[in-house]
Structure 1
């Protein structure tokens, strides 16, 4: 167990308790526990529940404070003497009936319906099937009970008569209730600051009008602590332990706050937001004593209704930081594509002060909802995350009242006549329209902003999300299909220069003389419109001298065509090795010197670093490999092929997603945990570095078992300190051992098993530049002296004072940092790119 120890002297503790007492008194004075309505159904006597705050459930017979309307009867359970008196009687409804309550104060009300299916001589309550509604909201539909069930709802009720209706679903069925609670509670949310609205794709907005809806409690979890019974809750709520909902229990450890009470502050959470035990316990990331963790985050998974809005409240109270000076901040994730930065001390000003965050989250069609927390790199002293409690309530929209029967009789004939006339008009209009108009595609693919994940795509005829317009793909780069046909000579096979996972690639020339590469999708190639849109979105928002430029695209006639700048030298792999026929045996063919190879690696690393950190949003490439690194006529490297990329916030630690990429380059942690990070690109780039050094593919099944996987084979020799044994034969005797040693260390760091142990791409750039410097400063040797195994040639590696990554000059990237949107701008030497892909992603 983690314990928070106070570092303050006695006087500070005294002041703390005085402040806590005064704040709590102020908060408590704004709300007092009500005494109505608590109803004991089907009984002629009252029941006083004394566990916790006292509730007096009054009999529903002869009560002057509410009325019972309809055909009713009651039953008693005489067989269960040990059950609560509250559940020994029930009110039976064989026809539509209701409780009518007079509400004398407007506000948010808790409505609890108690059902216990006992069997009596008159009725077996487990046979009941019925609906429950209240003030236009359908609370329960086709409801039946087998054991004790308490359904809880939150509604905003104005001063008026509040009606709770019970309706059997069939004539042979009936409804019942054992007890009812309807009482005023503090407003669930502040109208002036509506909760954040989150879609399954990660789009965000604000959710207005929550108080006009009904909320049905689905989960209330005490994170890090035991279950909390209604007797120990300030509003008689029930909290369950979170343990059953943890996806990876080992990722979390418990924390406890050993003090009398949390420190409630004005404007934050109160004792009625959640009881003290919720804020006195938490779960935090299982961080080792050395400060590292094998886990990206902690995830709780809850079963919820599909495709429905849910109100989600997450409770926080910093009981994990050893002192207030240890500034802690972390990320909260909803599903995998939305993240929210949590900075406790932007909300409160001392330790152990409760607060909460509210969201309305649209569930997807999976039937579950993930709530996760994870650390942030910019958390100054402590890199962890914590959570104290979670509440999930399904949002119930208002039910439209059906038309009354007598209205149908009066106006029925009129409606039939009008409907017939309207149908005739519609038929005429449609016929005339069809003669004039060409068929159009009504489904438009929209790229939805994905805060904290990747781009997500929905086929929809709507152009808004939560009322906000969506951008379409008309980015000023659209080319006509006729122009593409002209440029490729109607897709002349003699101009085809490659074929990959997306489709065929053609060398082409536009009407203005610009030489380009045209990539045309073909059905059945395994990739489609999502990849097409991702590539456009990504390449239209970035510009960098080490990233391939998008010239245009075409989506006419269901075509998916991308047009890139042309790269004369093709892919990096083309210059490293060739595969000999079906045997997949590779042989080195490179004419690239070690200096050139390092410069190419440095350029590709800079491109990836820009994607990860400098493009305004973090972009994870997800398919880094030697065929996706292209070379221009001067052998300048550019990263290409962004169809599998994922977009997120710069502070995003990971994205949960299905595994995609190329075998042999896949991050093993990503493969195991389905959690994609920037460090997944780093791992793939580490494999590319070995390809450059060894001039062989990442996977070669024609080799002996232990040599098949290049990453494993390279690490084996690197750890033995004999990496020179597997270098490209054309490089033997030409690499400074200091340079090789630094290069090997960089490879080893990139290929670490866990992402947290791998360097950032910025660090990789620096290490490679250092390896190049070591190569360039090697002393001249006679030809007969050249040997990478000659220990006498090894120079001591000088100690270098490394500057922080943010101190690297902006113009090292070759562009202004605020200028990364002009994708039509060509590079300085006017060279355009070729996407030469000869294997699938």
Structure 2
């Protein structure tokens, strides 16, 4: 008998079709459906009705139910013990009575491949629905399955989605008011309880059954903030500007806050949070506030920042004249190529108030015709609104493309018998991948790896093997069948790792090989995945050994060896690789260390190939704030000297053991490049040297190191040295340090 084996992939082929028809009889307003079941299931105070007995009807030419015997423990919600599986285009039909804003939640749990309920997923959408019939369509691809465990449809607050909100560009400019948000569909990305306890606010503690997670994983510098809690309930009725209630956000969100630390322990003027989002997308960002820190009613002014460039005044008295009045503000925020939205709160210039606070944040992706594109003529997903006249009535059909999980039906093949084996990192050789029809054409197939092999290597991407996380997605430690240790970088939908970067990394690393450049073992583009497999670097990133972790301090000798190794790698890219390559994103997190602390440059997703001559390369500015060459930023002319500037920042990090941007410090010290150059000019550089290095550095070695760093950071690229010159100077530093140590030993 053929066995079903489920493999989750993210594919933009689940389609919502919202078709609204006029009805003349009383209708239900909320639905909680236990799919694939004839029995009900309880989840907190919600009763999920089995879809075989529900008033919501199913339309399908072929569907069946599936019950799991693997999740029958008392701790496992019965909600995830059944599923309805579709082999053909199918739909659920709901009768809607009220013209209102609704939450639509879809629950997915592949119980056939896991018994861990933490892997259960759900997608939450918020949209306006007029009275009539509402359909949720499932459109499986040929020879595939669609499935669903549970569906929720219930009304929110009528004013939950604003009609208009200020629109902020990635450059921090207020473009205009964005109109028509209320007619868009929103997909919840983040819902954050700022300053709340470490535990998540679960649906049973929220009037609209939402999850709110703590902000600890998103705040950049926790020492800049302290958490506050108010025991009494928020004063909802005192808000004079807008209707607000517990349905806007639960009490606990407004009873807790992060407050700017004014105790003197931190001199940073701002608290900053960073959120990874889809690149070049549009989001509704909602900020929740409630003054729980003032002792008497008073005007409290502070500044809210978006992307550090846009700022707006927050004045609690705009919403009422009592304490603990909840309020919120909305912005439509466009993301850029970094795939990140930064928000901050800080002091207002013209006020005596020495504090600022934030209670909650919600980030919702705006679906529809609102996605950004660098080229408006490029193909992109659109969400047309189609109107048709029928008997004097307007039938409105809104097509919304969202994430769909496809599960292949096939006979299981024993993974132990895989015939794949790694190929040389130069490329070449024949492909042993058994996939066809991948997403990436014309790639180096000698490096292509089956998805099943990577599942085996990472134990199906087990959380315990997670060793890194960033804008691109997650990095897992893996072990191939031949025993080779690898690092598996798996991009996630909506993450910072895009298709161009994925392709660039493969093409660059398949052509080059050097002791001080990380080696690409393989890649996978099956099932719309974007996965890169590298040699495993046991000692992590250079940054982790300088600050922000409990790793042992590096000696001056070790730091010089690491800098020399990285310089050799970059020099090879510029001069010895085919055609020349500019890295374009040199930073301390992209310098990796193996078990012997040998440095290797990594992350070539933004690199630029081509002849590196005096003609320069005109290109869209990309890179990381704090490391970005100011000349490149102004002129958009990329040269190898842009890498030299970024490497100069890394040299300063190595010397000072602090980040390139550190908002904890006073204003003039926030930017390491500016602060370092100022100290060099004043002859005060020794004052900012890492305290753990005091007494270790030979004066001649330090003098040459500072001189080299200063040359790298010259404002004009032509005044900077080549990477070959930098390498030579660093070797001089190392020789001076070695000679000094030899003299001390004698």
Per the shorter chain, which TM-score range?
0.3 to 0.5
* TM-score relative to the length of structure 1: 0.43
* TM-score relative to the length of structure 2: 0.48
